[in-house]
Amino acid sequence: MHVLITGGSSGIGAATALAYAKTGARVTITYKSGADRAAEVVKRIEEEGGEAAAVHLDLEDHTTIAPAVAEAGPVDALVANAVRWGTIMPNSVPFEDVPAAEWTAALHANVVGNALLAQAVLREMRRRKFGRIVFVSSGAAEEGMPGPGPYGTAKMALHGMARALAWEAGRDGILVNVAVAGLTITGVSRPIPQPVLDEIAARTPSRRLSTADDLAALIVFLGSAANRNVTGEFVRDGSNAGRSSHAL
Ligand SMILES: NC(=O)c1ccc[n+]([C@@H]2O[C@H](COP(=O)([O-])OP(=O)(O)OC[C@H]3O[C@@H](n4cnc5c(N)ncnc54)[C@H](OP(=O)(O)O)[C@@H]3O)[C@@H](O)[C@H]2O)c1
């Protein structure tokens, strides 16, 4: 099994790469600016006896997408995890003041970029009559998040893309799902004060926030042969606190 994981140089992507490698899968991760961090992930996998490679891919620069997939070689599974976070922080800029350029950039990278990425792996998956695609989305986007409208809008577009693709590609043995992450402990959550994290955790069913490893386990299931027929689904982990967390 060969898996391509975008944004594998940190956070959930890196944890997913390590988790896949533990199952015996060969992984190719992509990085944008973190070549050194990506090399560290590859080294760790190799030290544990696995097989891994890293390639450069920038969702903002569409000319990098097909060459990155070609360099990776045919894949059995794609994890579309990379994200252009954007420049708008939660509760920072009123909706009416978000510049057009920010909308364009968010959709260009996170929607069109991921569509081109899926296109680049699909032909080979169809030929082999097997494929797994997992888009990584956000519970905050799904529930509605004040502030980064372009980020949330782009994430929700992935839900539509996944459903459309699930119907289109299902007859060729390709299953397509969305892993909907709640607030997950990665570098991104680091600036959030601990009391706020604790309060959000208290509003989740399991009373704890997921780690990147927790998300990785979900993604590996959805994106492997162990997933026999789950498709077109938006699967939330227990870190999703629901609407109430955005008021904090
Ligand atoms: N952490 C959370 O609380 C949370 C919650 C909900 C959803 N998510 C979703 O989970 C996924 C991973 O999040 P994370 O917390 O692991 O984030 P992260 O640690 O910031 O990792 C983001 C990854 O995306 C890559 N990347 C950034 N801009 C890119 C671009 N323009 N083109 C290609 N790759 C790019 C980064 O590469 P370089 O570092 O090499 O530049 C990095 O590998 C994202 O889709 C995010 O929306 C996260």
For each successive 10 residues of the chain (248 residues), what is the average pLDDT?
98 98 98 98 98 98 98 98 88 88 96 98 98 96 84 96 98 98 93 92 93 98 98 96 60
Of 138, 224, 239, 245, catalytic: 138
- Give the pLDDT confidence score for residue 248 in this predicted structure: 52
CATH number at residue 150: 3.40.50.720
- Give the pLDDT confidence score for residue 175 in this predicted structure: 98
Which residue lies with its CA nearest to atom 1 of ligand 1? Answer: 184
- Report pTM: 0.97
Any ligand 1 atom below 6 A from CB of 218: no
Residues with Cβ within 8 Å of 164's Cβ and at least 6 positions away in sequence, in order, are none
Locus of tokens 């560290």 = 40
Q: How many structural domains compose the chain?
A: 1
Q: 80, 28, 94: which is closest to 222 by C-alpha?
A: 80
- Domain containing 228 equals 2-247
| 52-56 β-sheet, strand order | 52-56, 26-31, 2-5, 77-80, 131-138, 174-181, 234-236
- Give the pLDDT confidence score for residue 58 in this predicted structure: 98
Helix axes 100-107, 149-169, angle to 10 degrees: 30
Q: How far apart are CA 248 and CA 231, in angstroms?
A: 34
- Give the pLDDT confidence score for residue 83 in this predicted structure: 98
Any ligand 1 atom below 6 A from CB of 48: no
Atom of ligand 1 at shortest range from CA of 58: 32
- Give the pLDDT confidence score for residue 245 in this predicted structure: 57
Helix (H) or strand (E) holding 2: strand 2-5
